[in-house]
Copies of this chain bind each other. A is one copy, B any other.
Amino acid sequence: MSRIVIALALSGFSLVVAQSPGATPPQASSPAASVASLKQDLVIADRILFDEEFLDTAGHVSVRLAPDRFLMPWRRAPELIVAEDLMEYDLDGNVADAKGRPLILERFIHSEIYRARPDVRAIVHGHTPSLVMFSSSNIPLRPLFSGAGFIGQSVPAFKNGDAGGGVQSADLGRKLAEAMGKGGAVLMRGHGVVVAAPSLVALVQRAISLDTNAQLVARLLSMGDKEPMYIRPNPAGGAADAAGGAGGNNSREWEAYKRRAEMLMKRN
């Protein structure tokens, strides 16, 4: 958890948090959500997913801004992202004016999923160890607890050659989106994972729950359990239950995440 000390204690972020109204749940999925509000929530998502060790220095989170545009940083480590690092990418992976900053090479993961999935409003790509592990195995990753119900029967896998390479073209992005289908996650063989959700808050919960679920399935099988009691898939829900609550009360989690940031900022 101390990663948050590193993830959040950087100048620039304080302003973002300062703009944030107390514990009001973000309206990422509301048409009224302002760009500033979306940027603020995206920065929090980046920092929290780094803090929770879902992201390393090379993962990335994005949020849909409009049917044909999404917000995502330039090629910078999640632990360093501030609002000013966010740019508008279109569905071809282009940015009108990047101000000389390099684009994320795997931006096509995001652009092609947003193109294929109108219901998706937020996406994260990471190289989370527990999920890289399942991406390299034929053992299916199935939902073990309520928070992971969103993955359905099991998480599908996309294979880009046999060297564990990433997705750096629109063509590969389309194939990845096809592999994901209508689900909320897809594994990338020998490389990582992609999680998609209807909002940034749901995305953070789904990502954390999927990582935990992978670790628990691995440990159960290691114990010699031949028949883990997997739960009934709940593709529509899941995220809402990720924190053990119900009815999608994400505000409890979001307040905690924001407060962690505010408290830590005070210490730097």
Q: Does B255 contact A76, Cβ atoms closer than 8 Å?
A: yes
Given the interface pairs A57-B243, A164-B241, A220-B137, the reply to whether A146 lies near B232 with Cβ below 8 Å is no
- Pick the residue among B129, B227, B232 that contacts A138 (CB under 8 A): B227
For A249-268 the 0/1 string (1 means CB < 8 A from B) is 10011011001100110111
**How distant is the Cα of A227 from the Cα of B137 in the complex, in angstroms?**
8
Q: Does A102 contact B249, Cβ atoms closer than 8 Å?
A: yes
Instruction: Pull 12 A–B residue pairs with CB atoms less than 8 Å apart, ordered by A.
Output: A2-B2, A5-B264, A75-B249, A79-B256, A136-B220, A138-B225, A138-B229, A145-B164, A149-B163, A162-B231, A222-B222, A222-B224
State which of A37-45, A114-122, A175-183, A211-219 sits at the interface with chain B: A211-219
**How distant is the Cα of A137 from the Cα of B76 in the complex, in angstroms?**
39
Given the interface pairs A56-B244, A146-B164, A267-B267, the reply to whether A229 lies near B189 with Cβ below 8 Å is yes
* Number of interface residues, chain A, beta carbon within 8 A: 82
- Of residues 1 through 45 on chain A, the ones whose CB sits less than 8 Å from some CB of chain B are 1-6, 9-10
Q: List residues of A whose CB falls within 8 A of some B CB.
A: 1-6, 9-10, 56-59, 75-77, 79-80, 102, 105-106, 126-127, 129, 132-133, 135-139, 144-147, 149, 161-166, 168, 189-192, 212, 215-216, 218-225, 227-232, 234, 241, 243-247, 249, 252-253, 255-256, 259-260, 263-264, 266-268
- Pick the residue among B165, B191, B228, B234 that contacts A136 (CB under 8 A): B228
